[in-house]
Structure 1
Amino acid sequence: MENSMRPPAVPLLNVDPYFNAWSSSDHLYDDHVHHWTYDEHRDSGIFGMVGMIRIDGEVWRFMGKVSDAEEEVNNLEQLQLTVKPLSTIYIFQGAGIKLQVDFTTPLLLNDLDALSRPASYVTFDVWADDGKEHDVQIYFDVTAEWCVHDKKQQVRWSRSTLEDNIADMCIGTVDQPILERTGDDTRIDWGYFHLLVPQASNAVSVIHASNIRKQWIQTNSLPNEDDRHMPRSVEENTPVMAVVLDFKSVDATKETKFLTLAYDDIDSIEYFHQRLPGYWKGNGQTTDQMLQLSITDYSKLKKACHEFNESMIQETTDVGGTKYRDITSLVYRQAVAAHKLVLDDKGELLFLSKENNSNGCIGTVDISYPSIPLFLLYNPELVKGMMRPIFRYSRSDDWPFEFAPHDVGVYPVANGNVYGENKLENQMPIEECGNMLIMMTAVCLAEGEATFAEENWDLLTQWAQYLEKNGLDPGNQLCTDDFAGHLAHNANLSIKAIIGIGSYGILCELLGKKEEKKKYIALAQQMATKWEEMAIDDDHYKLTFEQADTWSLKYNLVWDVIFPLNLFSKEVREREISYYLPKRNRFGTPLDSRETYTKADWLVWVATLADQKEDANALIEPLWLYLNETEDRVPFSDWFDTKSAKRLNFKNRSVVGGLFMLMLKETNWKTANA
């Protein structure tokens, strides 16, 4: 597989909302590597990472910026960039050599130990392509910028030797303000950033100032010992952890070496006033053991990642073609790495999202809702991990409303809802109740049993009853598309309420509650019939019930097909798809008749409503064009203008997991009316 799409930003090292590095250039050497927050704070968002190669005594650059030595170093020619679900692979050429650089993070959703381990791999493959032998060394470094929020913060460093003679260099802040910094545009400033060098790599390493790059270029050597001038601020002679890998004589046979980058955050989440470490620490594993395993498991995990990459690439191609393959390959790591995996005090799984570049909330229900197609496909337990915090908070005395909350705090502190300052008028009552009921039904159908629903039946019933009373014709309120403001009589939100009630009926059936099942399925059917009468507007359905000559993407309708409930007549879907297709601009169909912007996740959801594959592709392919042509070089922004490809806001959000809805359609779900 070779991508033809130019990604707006390229995932490199993507583990969680903090350990999350990208390239926003056509070539890996065009600019610095950076954290996903980079465009708001360009200076403090840099994640310094530099790669150079010495071929027969001449130095070439293949990654990052070398600062004061920039003019002294030519770059290799970048031949190819391939983005796979778990791996990003660059190929370079020059001076008789080809160099492949592979960034792989084992975010394997069916292997929670690997998923939660805060480690990522950089693999170098070198071979000659001119029939000759060449003397080759690779220089690689990462800076202390990875472990501070602000460059004025002071850091200290150390090194140790793990079992099997693995060299471990690490850097962290002096103050170590664990879990003290909350918010959206933030970088971690506690814990320790590690660079691990396997014993077999034939390498030398050092912790020093970034001017050693120039020393290595000019003298082919590194300082003999680590810099002792610590602590110091990151802006003062920026500290780097550097390594030189000696490939010696290289011929046409591919030679391989790898490095591991890891980040031990000590504690990951504050959960209702209790500090929780990462999931990987749950069995008593120490940091040294985690680091050791990241090296010893390398071959096994690389093989597993390769197999997953090829399997997912084939499946997405079969379902949606090569453009859909490119899109889903790009978003996989973004969707997963916007979460943190931990265990609560009962030993139950929590999979907590950060609402990146929106408001920084943690565990947001209407961020989880669009993301779940990906996780339902590969591990539904993770969806339960998204929902558990909402159930816990909803039962507390701190939540005053009868409907479901929006969130449980601001990342990484999950101590209770913060959205809208807890004012009633700023909540999303229909949205979040519908979301939780639909998510629960999806999980139970995916797992084939309803124990999780039974454990939370009191709240599910309360929310279903709320939708029964308030859902058909919603009052003036926000929905997940809150950037569009409050809206009364929202037809798409009404669909969510109806599907939510039907979902509750499915849950009743799964739990053997036959009379309740009949009642709620019948109620949902009656409401759907009434909806069609209220929403019809000649050849399509309205944005709001009282506004003629309006329209909107009815993306919530997708669950009527997925489960399937079949509450709405087939004509609703057919009319809507026929209406959306001529409304397309170059980069997609707008969200509704008010503006020209759209949402990427909802585009794929409405495409999933199409009975004809060519109609689905026609709705999705403009999304590929947007990614390929947008001038906003940021991690996938899901909210953009369909005429200009301009990003409106948002980037690096987990909602892109929703782009797997087209694949989810192929899943066999239990029929509600069986």
Structure 2
Amino acid sequence: MIRFDRILTLLTHLVFSTLPGLAQSPPIIIELRAPAYPLVTLDPNTSAWSFSNNLYDDAVRHWSGKSFPLLGVLKVDGVAYRFLGKEEIELVPIAKMGEHAEWSAKYTVQEPPKNWVSLHFADAHWKTGSAPFGTLDKEPNSKTDWQEPKIWVRREVILKEDLVGKPVYLEFTHDDDAIMYVNGIEVANTGQATGKNRRVKLSEEVVKTLKKGKNIVAGYCYNRVANGFFDFGIFTEKKNSVFFTKEAVQKSANVQATQTNYIFDCGPVELSVSFIAPVFLDNLDLVARPVNYLAYEVKSRDGKKHNIELYLEASTNWALNSPLQDAVISQYKAGNLQYVKTGSKSQEILGKKGDDLRIDWGYFYMAAEANKTKSAIGNGVALRSQFLKNQTFSSSDQGKQIVLTQKFSTEEHYSDKILIGYDDIYSIQYFGKNLRPYWNRNENSSIEKQFELAHKEFVQLKEDCDQFDAELWNTAKRTGGDAYAALCALAYRQAIAAHKLVEAPNGDLLWLSKENDSNGSIGTVDITYPSAPLFLYYNPELAKALMNHIFYYSESRRWTKPFAAHDIGTYPIGNGQTYGGDMPVEESGNMLILAYAIARMEKNAEYAEKHWDVLTTWTDYLVEYGLDPENQLCTDDFAGHFAHNANLSAKAIVGIASYGYLAEMLGKKEVSQKYISIAKDMASKWKSMAADGDHYKLTFDKPGTWSQKYNLVWDKLLNMNIFDKSIFTTEVNYYLTKQNEYGLPLDNRRAYTKTDWIMWSATMADDKDTFQKFINPVYKFMNETTDRVPMSDWVYTDKLVRSGFKARAVVGGYFIKMLEEKIHKQK
């Protein structure tokens, strides 16, 4: 049983007392064991996480899972304690993946005989194709077009020697389900899931089969819906020295909304470390500032004086899509700060688009106060050796590592900080125009100016972070309980980091999402819709910025269909929709509902009035087609197309009602009466069409089915009174009978769910106790899941694994319960 009563205990260790002006009150402890811990969260490109319980158990990773090496070592009286990251095993390719080198294989899209994985299977009649295999129109990195649901691939690997006794790894990328075999032995079975660069260490039994000569690596992949992609390779370890073998002892890990706090024992001293992102949504300059902090404090545990040296090392990976790309490194002093810097040699600005990509233009920086800091660049092996031996660093611009060190002694306590940031130069291409990041929108700033501001403002910002984190916790706890508060704290930076803030040429503020771990779309409306509660709560201007590009797309006549677009491209290129299918009812309903939600938050409908013609077009579309939607996708597109979707119909009705109430706010009395009347009439028909005894159906034509009707929550939040209130009670009571150990399934078809929609369905309940009955299982899943990735929103409710998705903005939807309280207080 989760001890929520222990969550709100006080942490007395983490007080940066030597930095004047810092808050002396200790922060709250949140005992949630996060699936992954946010460390550096600037935007979708610079988003770094710890995927392990202890900060030193694994390499720091980009949200996609690729390594972002960041090593932290504290040397105490000559003894080095590694507290951050891990010296990664360097892999040598035996058979490269297609992302590094094109390879060919035999494949078929027709189910083969059962022995198709064996070494001696006759595959001469199979087709030959180059990897990666994928849907070319949606996965531009594919080499062989794969449009069918399933594919079977046999890759021949010729070895020059036996691999017995060597550490060997299989790495593979799959969308969706995959099963992998080596010489006929199954080595991986993902179940219904997607994955990017999954790595499996092969057992001794399998490695013994890897003999000199011909070997077969075989793989099966099942693309259930939308994009398909399949790639795999074999690797072994490169022998090299590991220097930082002694680990600190981690005592705690504590995720707050704006900071992640750790405490370690390093021999005779205690080390406290905080990764801080002061992203307050009502301050756009801070939201856009491309700098985070690694702040630390060292305390003597025995009252004796100790000589201390901090070593922080990053690699060129932070500024590369692939570690194999060429990079440049440098060090310099500017103003009060000492910098180290890295970036790709090619600098192809906005040269790549897609999902599983990392930025390879612009530059990554670390900086610290110059009079306290030394820097070094070069080969990691040499730099680590010199640090351990107390030798002077011999820097070289030929390596892949950048280093900052700080040296001091203390018999009490000492505090300092390292600044970590990224200058992407240009962030987004928007209908043919390359846009600077918001912090440099007027082209009158520089990355050094941003670092100087971050350096000077740190003390105040740390106080502000402490206060904000406490306020968020207390508000979320009051509205939804301890488990809810913990999930909101973890969701805060994840949701924000999946966006980029820029200004359009016409002056519009653009808060553009990347559809992480899905298809990489930019500005997706059905990402905006679930994420919006966070931004509605803290700053409606950002909620507008989630929508401005879609309004512009239609109003500029670049998008001419009578319903809202799905997206404006593939991140970071926003030149027009690239998603393969439209979601007419879904996206139009989303835009209308959010337009009314903004009006309610601002207590005026000026924003809607500005876009009235387009809103009218979308509303009329919903009036004609929304009650009983034809065969089409909704936001839960992984479930596939289906018609007569009752929840989608509810969205259409609430969208029409939203338009009616906006008209009322604008003094358009006849328009208001007309559309509110239409919505109420449709809601009455909906109740009759969807009724199925003690609940309401998944689709109007299928009795005995059910689904979460999360779209109804806006009728309750915005006090529309369109749907019969008994529907809410009936549905919530029925949901309680359908819960599994880790949550409420999305519908009757499968055991998976969407955690954001659970939050919305739970908010339909009239009391906090019932709300918590839905939230506690979600907390339990996140606290215990074996999938160590930034929170997934698409998970199973009967087992501790995700079905897909990670690091997505939609967890901003967790804030809907807080939003409900705020809206109702405004009445």
The answer to whether the superposition gives a TM-score over 0.5 is yes
Q: Distance in 2 between matches of 1:221 and 1:112?
A: 44
Q: How does 1:366-445 map to 2 (within 5 A)?
A: 366-420=526-580, 426-445=581-600
% same residue: 44
Deviation sequence 1:98-144 (CA, Å, 0-9, x none):
10010001211011111101111000111012232222111111111
Q: How does 1:543-554 map to 2 (within 5 A)?
A: 543-554=698-709
* 1:106 maps to amino acid: P
Match of 1:205 in 2: 375
Q: Distance in 2 between matches of 1:629 and 1:454?
A: 47
Contact 2:528 2:810 in 1 (8 A): yes
How much does 1:210 deviate?
A: 1.0
How much does 1:670 deviate?
A: 9.8
Q: Distance in 2 between matches of 1:477 and 1:260?
A: 48
Structure 1 residue 221 corresponds to structure 2 residue 221:
no
Deviation sequence 1:352-382 (CA, Å, 0-9, x none):
0000001000000000000000000100101
Q: Distance in 2 between matches of 1:139 and 1:521?
A: 64
Structure 1 residue 55 corresponds to structure 2 residue 214:
no
Question: What secondary structure does 1:626 align onto?
Answer: helix
Indicate how the Cα distance of structure 1 residues 517 and 555 shifts in structure 2: closer, same or farther if over 3 A, else same: same
Structure 1 residue 117 corresponds to structure 2 residue 284:
no
Match of 2:503 in 1: 343
Structure 1 residue 278 corresponds to structure 2 residue 437:
yes
Q: Distance in 1 between matches of 2:404 and 2:698?
A: 58
Question: RMSD of the alignment, in Å?
Answer: 1.5
* 1:448 maps to amino acid: K
How much does 1:457 deviate?
A: 0.4
Match of 1:240 in 2: 401
Question: What secondary structure does 1:263 align onto?
Answer: strand
Match of 1:234 in 2: none
Structure 1 residue 269 corresponds to structure 2 residue 441:
no
Deviation sequence 1:506-549 (CA, Å, 0-9, x none):
11011110111111111111111111111111110000111111
Among 359, 362, 366, the residue aligned to 2:519 = 359
* 2:308 maps to amino acid: V
Match of 2:345 in 1: 174
Contact 2:295 2:415 in 1 (8 A): yes
How much does 1:337 deviate?
A: 0.6
Contact 1:23 1:33 in 2 (8 A): yes
How much does 1:400 deviate?
A: 3.7
How many residues align? The count is 648
How much does 1:169 deviate?
A: 1.7
* 1:114 maps to amino acid: L
Q: Distance in 1 between matches of 2:578 and 2:321?
A: 23
Q: Distance in 2 between matches of 1:52 and 1:556?
A: 49
* 2:335 maps to amino acid: E
Structure 1 residue 537 corresponds to structure 2 residue 709:
no
* 2:660 maps to amino acid: G
Contact 2:332 2:338 in 1 (8 A): yes
Question: What secondary structure does 1:261 align onto?
Answer: strand
Contact 1:477 1:488 in 2 (8 A): yes
Deviation sequence 1:188-238 (CA, Å, 0-9, x none):
0000111111135x22111121113531453123414x3143xxxxxxx5x
Question: What secondary structure does 1:540 align onto?
Answer: coil
Q: How does 1:567-606 map to 2 (within 5 A)?
A: 567-606=722-761
Indicate how the Cα distance of structure 1 residues 82 and 216 shifts in structure 2: closer, same or farther if over 3 A, else same: farther
Among 300, 303, 307, the residue aligned to 1:135 = 307
Structure 1 residue 328 corresponds to structure 2 residue 499:
no
Question: What secondary structure does 2:792 align onto?
Answer: coil
Match of 2:359 in 1: 188
Among 33, 42, 55, the residue aligned to 1:6 = 33
Q: Distance in 1 between matches of 2:392 and 2:756?
A: 48
* 1:73 maps to amino acid: T
Match of 2:165 in 1: none
Q: How does 1:87-166 map to 2 (within 5 A)?
A: 87-164=259-336, 166=337
Indicate how the Cα distance of structure 1 residues 308 and 257 shifts in structure 2: closer, same or farther if over 3 A, else same: same
Match of 1:564 in 2: 719
Structure 1 residue 654 corresponds to structure 2 residue 785:
no
Match of 1:29 in 2: 56
* 2:429 maps to amino acid: E
* 2:415 maps to amino acid: T
* 1:113 maps to amino acid: D
Q: Distance in 2 between matches of 1:28 and 1:593?
A: 39
Q: Distance in 2 between matches of 1:109 and 1:636?
A: 21
Match of 1:232 in 2: none
Contact 1:206 1:222 in 2 (8 A): no
Deviation sequence 1:463-519 (CA, Å, 0-9, x none):
111111111111111100000011111000010000000000111011110111111
* 2:294 maps to amino acid: V
Larger Rg: 2
Deviation sequence 1:429-458 (CA, Å, 0-9, x none):
100110000011111111111111111100
Q: Distance in 2 between matches of 1:91 and 1:448?
A: 45
Q: TM-score, normalised by structure 2?
A: 0.77
Question: What secondary structure does 2:822 align onto?
Answer: coil
* 1:46 maps to amino acid: S
Indicate how the Cα distance of structure 1 residues 625 and 241 shifts in structure 2: closer, same or farther if over 3 A, else same: same
* 1:193 maps to amino acid: F
Contact 2:41 2:493 in 1 (8 A): yes
Structure 2 residue ranges without an equivalent (≥5): 1-27, 89-239
Stretch deviating more after TM superposition (209-218 or 406-415): 209-218
Indicate how the Cα distance of structure 1 residues 322 and 212 shifts in structure 2: closer, same or farther if over 3 A, else same: farther
Contact 1:212 1:222 in 2 (8 A): no
How much does 1:72 deviate?
A: 5.4
Indicate how the Cα distance of structure 1 residues 511 and 56 shifts in structure 2: closer, same or farther if over 3 A, else same: same
Indicate how the Cα distance of structure 1 residues 322 and 295 shifts in structure 2: closer, same or farther if over 3 A, else same: same
Q: Distance in 1 between matches of 2:587 and 2:347?
A: 36
Question: What secondary structure does 1:438 align onto?
Answer: helix
* 2:407 maps to amino acid: D
How much does 1:311 deviate?
A: 0.9
Q: Distance in 1 between matches of 2:481 and 2:611?
A: 40
Structure 1 residue 472 corresponds to structure 2 residue 631:
no
Contact 1:3 1:83 in 2 (8 A): yes
Indicate how the Cα distance of structure 1 residues 315 and 257 shifts in structure 2: closer, same or farther if over 3 A, else same: same
Q: Distance in 2 between matches of 1:69 and 1:628?
A: 35
Contact 1:215 1:222 in 2 (8 A): no
Indicate how the Cα distance of structure 1 residues 72 and 244 shifts in structure 2: closer, same or farther if over 3 A, else same: closer
Q: Distance in 2 between matches of 1:502 and 1:110?
A: 29
Indicate how the Cα distance of structure 1 residues 148 and 311 shifts in structure 2: closer, same or farther if over 3 A, else same: same
Contact 1:15 1:107 in 2 (8 A): no
Q: Distance in 2 between matches of 1:334 and 1:292?
A: 26
Among 479, 482, 485, the residue aligned to 1:319 = 479
